[in-house]
Amino acid sequence: MSRPSAIEVVNVSKKFGDYTALDHVDFKILQNEFFTLLGPSGCGKTTLLRMIAGFETPSAGTLLLKGKAIAQMPAHKRRVNTVFQNYALFPHMTLSQNIAFGLENLGWDKARIRERVGRMLEMVHMEDFAARKPDQLSGGQRQRIALARALASEPEVLLLDEPLSALDLKLRQAMRNELRALQRDTGITFVFVTHDQEEALDMSDRIAVMGHGRVQQIGTPIEIYEDPKTRFVADFIGDTNFLEGEVIASDGSTATIRTALGTDVTTTCENVSGPGPATLSIRPEKIGVGEQAEGLILTSTVLSRNYLGGFTHYTVRVGEIDLRLSRRNAQSHQDAFDIGDAVRIGFRDSNARILGQ
């Protein structure tokens, strides 16, 4: 049985004067889902989040919250809360008072508020800091309180507008784990906005990759990374090599591409109907080098080498084509290839993806 929708975005567009921020966006977010809007600056993801929150109104289309139209509903009447990048805590209030503020406005009685504030502080592991004020906390602690305040009123949907971008690397990684655990524990639908691909891949049930005001692709993290449908998605998510070629055979489910590498690549496809130009995407870690080479074997020359601990990244040249590849450093002090070395590389046909334009 499929899950019901928490949010439905139905053919939504948004214009600011002559500028189109969103262009006929259409998708559903399921209840109890961690859903991420991912894309570069200016792609429309924050505009869409602000519409769900009630801070912007669509120029066209419909927004539904659990089946109820909300496009014209005031923000304070929606069971939706937002966690902002800058936390937006009240500096003159204690942490307990910050969490209690929204509950008081909702008319909760004092005993219920006290119990809920205690539960929220415990949930974010901040119960020993209840009497402190925000300026006495670290960035990560302030973010936890912002989350606790947003979750306290039991919203149907929690919106998160790049909440981790101001944190340092290790704290971001720790907060990712906490956010995912909070979403699982509460069962609340999370809608997360970010331009950070690693955040999106790590936390999300599904990702909507946005670009140029449109949804380019929606899928699970594995689907988005392993099976990008367009050049935009393949280029934005992670690193990849693009190989131009010509379709020489296709049967509707597979196609054979003659590439500039001098080899033919046969792989699955959904968007090739006959002869013509085609673009292949192959991720650097899918190309083996030296003893890790397999599948289609080629001879290359090393142009550059970058050692990054668990992996060494190489740029190699095959004929006139430059390829980026990653070699897993499976052994301590594993021999590295030097610039100018001739090395074997190889990849399996099945790891190449034919992209739509």
Task: Identify the CATH homologous superfamily for domain 5-231.
Answer: P-loop containing nucleotide triphosphate hydrolases (3.40.50.300)
Its CATH class, for the domain covering 239-355, is mainly beta
Cβ contact 108:61 at 8 Å: no
The reported pLDDT for the residue numbered 327 is: 85
The reported pLDDT for the residue numbered 334 is: 64
The reported pLDDT for the residue numbered 92 is: 93
3-state secondary structure the chain: CCCCEEEEEEEEEEEECCEEEEEEEEEEEECCCEEEEECCCCCCHHHHHHHHHCCCCCCEEEEEECCEECCCCCHHHCCEEEECCCCCCCCCCCHHHHHHHHHHHCCCCHHHHHHHHHHHHHHCCCHHHCCCCHHHCCHHHHHHHHHHHHHHCCCCEEEEECCCCCCCHHHHHHHHHHHHHHHHHHCCEEEEEECCHHHHHHHCCEEEEEECCEEEEEECHHHHHHCCCEHHHHHHCCCCEEEEEEEEEECCCEEEEEECCCCEEEEECCCCCCCEEEEEEECHHHCEEHHHCCCEEEEEEEEEEEECCCEEEEEEEECCEEEEEEEECCCCCCCCCCCCCEEEEEECHHHCEEEEC
- Cα distance between residue 126 and residue 132, in whole Å: 10
The reported pLDDT for the residue numbered 117 is: 93
The reported pLDDT for the residue numbered 253 is: 82
Give average pLDDT by consecutive 10-residue segment, the chain, 357 residues.
Answer: 87 95 96 96 93 94 95 90 83 93 91 92 89 89 87 91 81 84 91 93 96 96 94 93 90 86 86 81 93 91 90 92 88 78 94 83
Q: Where are the domains of the chain?
A: 5-231, 239-355
The whole-model pTM stands at 0.89
The reported pLDDT for the residue numbered 201 is: 95
